[in-house]
Amino acid sequence: MSLLRVLGRPMLASMFVAGGLDSVRNPQNVAGLAEPVVRPVTDRVELLPDSTEECVRLNGAVQVAGGLLLATGRLSRPAALALAVTLVPTTLAAHRFWEEEDPDRKSQQRIHFLKNLAMLGGLLIAADDTGSAPSLLWRGRHAAHDLRRDAHLVRRSVRAGAAPAAMAGRVRGKLSR
Q: Which of 72, 67, 87 is nearest to 16 (CA)?
A: 67
Which whole-number Å values give the CA distances from 21 to 59, 140, 156, in the listed order?
10, 39, 64
Q: How many CB atoms lie within 10 A of CB 47?
A: 6
Residues of the chain scoring pLDDT < 50 = none
For 127-169, write each residue's pLDDT tens digit: 888 766 676 777 788 888 888 998 888 888 888 888 788 788 8
Q: What is the maximal distance between C-alpha atoms in the chain?
A: 108
CA distance linking residue 16 with residue 111, whole number of Å: 18
Which whole-number Å values give the CA distances from 52 to 16, 31, 87, 93, 129, in the listed order?
19, 6, 16, 12, 33
The residues, ordered by sequence, that sit 6+ positions from 16 with a Cβ below 8 Å of its Cβ are: 63, 64, 66, 67, 70, 83, 86
Kindly report the pTM of this predicted structure: 0.67
Query: Are residues 115 and 52 in contact, defined by beta-carbon separation less than 8 angstroms?
Result: no
**Domain edges within the chain:** 3-128, 134-177
Give residue 132's pLDDT. 64
End-to-end CA, the chain: 73
